Structure formats: structure tokens, C-alpha cells
Structure 1
Amino acid sequence: MITGLTWLLGCQLLGEVFVRLTDAPVPGPVVGMVILFVLLQVRRSGDDATVVRAAHGLLRHLQLLFVPAGVGVVVYLTRIREDALAITVALGVAWLLGIAVVGWSTVLLERWGARR
């Protein structure tokens, strides 16, 4: 499992270094996930790979990663109450835009698939 965690953290580190060097507007961990995906595709790793086992181990305890977010909500609860209307409107608009974009993309992909 240590080897798998090393691969995961190494890919994240490479992503962070890439973003810092190129000043890309993308988070380093996202670039690291793309690097990890490419590595897994090139190596054709199966379910018994150390990276996959380490990822499964982390996913089993994923709920622990929500503790800091919950603490942040509690710490800033008064601020959230003050801006509740603005937060609710922003969430609603973002939700509606997300649904519209997904629907539009689905229609375009179906039309594109029908032409092929």
C-alpha cells in the first residue's frame, strides 16, 4: 500500500509542479489525476495494482475527508447566515445552469451520434 500511496502522491506532486511552472489556471491535483490516468492507461494496471489497492483503501475512509469541511461550516455559520440569500440564489443559478449545460450537451451528442 505504501507503493500505491507513493504513486498517488507523486502524481499529485507532478501536477502541482506543472501548474506552478506553467502558471496554468487548473488545480495541481486535477493535473495530477490526469497524469495518473495516463500512467494507468499506459501501464494497463489491473485491479491488483498497488495504486488501485491504495485508492480503495482511501475510498473506504472517504467520509473522514468531509470532517474539515464540516468544521469550516460550523466556524463560519454566522457568516453563512448573514449571506444565506445570496448563497441560496448562487447555488440555485449554478444548479440550473449545470442542468441546462448537461441537457444541451446530451442533445448535441445524440444528434452527433445519429449522424454517424
Structure 2
Amino acid sequence: MSRTELRIGAMASRTLQFSLGFVVLAALLSAGGRLVRWLHLPIPPAIVGMVLLLAVLACFGRLVAAVEAASTPLLKHMMLFFIPTVAGVMEQFQTLRTGWLPFVVACVAGAALTLAVTALTLQKLLKRQGAAG
């Protein structure tokens, strides 16, 4: 095989892997939305979709590479996904003006909790990696 054929084959393989991963992510997001509507859950559909993603990846480990191939480019541009949220907050600015304190407390507490859980998880994983290595 020539170098060009090898490159084309590798590119086709990456494209198929990306496509499979994107289909898995989109299907689980859609399934999360359907579950929330069907069960009348007070949880964002994206969170339910991520729990479903965790379950699928735990059961079908072969999909990890495909989901990683699709999610890596999306994560590089993650800030773009926050634009609708920021626009929604700005649309409710008048409401926030009257009740800003609970909003700020919730934002700071949520950020602190997220940071603490992330740090503890990383610490635990690094200890586990050190014990295994």
C-alpha cells in the first residue's frame, strides 16, 4: 500500500469513529430528553443523558474511543455552549436585580462544591494511579 492510501484509510477510520461517537452522544442526549418528559423528572435532560452515557460506556467499553473522538473537538469549543445560558441570564436581568443575593450565593457555592469534588476525585485517582504504577 502506498502512503497516500494509508493516509486515506486512517482518515476514513477517524471519520467513522468520530461519526459513531457523535451519533452515540446525540442519541443519548435525545434519550435523556425523552426520559425526562416521559417520567416528568425535575432534572435537566443533558444530565440524564450523561448518566445514560456513563452506563453505556460502562457496558460497552469499545465505544470509549469513538465517544472520545467525537467529544474532544466539542470540548475544545465548550465556551460556545455557554452563550445561550448567558443570554438567558441577561434576559432575566430585571428579576436578578431584585433577588441577586441568592443567585450569587448559589453560583459561588456551586462553583466551590464543583471545585472541591473535582479536586478530591483527582486526588483519589492520582493515589490509585501511584499505587498501581
Could you say which TM-score interval applies, normalised by the shorter chain?
0.5 to 0.7
Give the distance between the partners of 1:81 and 1:3, measured in 2 at CA. 45
Q: Of residues 54, 63, 68 in structure 1, which corresponds to 2:79?
A: 63
Equivalent residue pairs, number: 97
Give the distance between the partners of 2:68 and 2:36, measured in 1 at CA. 25
Normalised to the residue count of structure 1, the TM-score between the two structures is 0.62
Q: 1:1-116 alignment to 2 at 5 Å?
A: 1-45=18-62, 49-85=65-101, 87-88=103-104, 90-91=105-106, 95=109
Give the distance between the partners of 2:21 and 2:57, measured in 1 at CA. 12
Unmatched segments (≥5 aa) in structure 1: 107-116
- CA positional deviation for 1:28: 2.1
- CA positional deviation for 1:7: 0.6
- CA positional deviation for 1:61: 0.5
CA RMSD of aligned residues (A): 3.1
Normalised to the residue count of structure 2, the TM-score between the two structures is 0.55
Unmatched segments (≥5 aa) in structure 2: 1-17, 121-133
Q: Comparing both structures, which one devotes a greater share of its residues to helix?
A: 2
Q: Percent identity?
A: 27
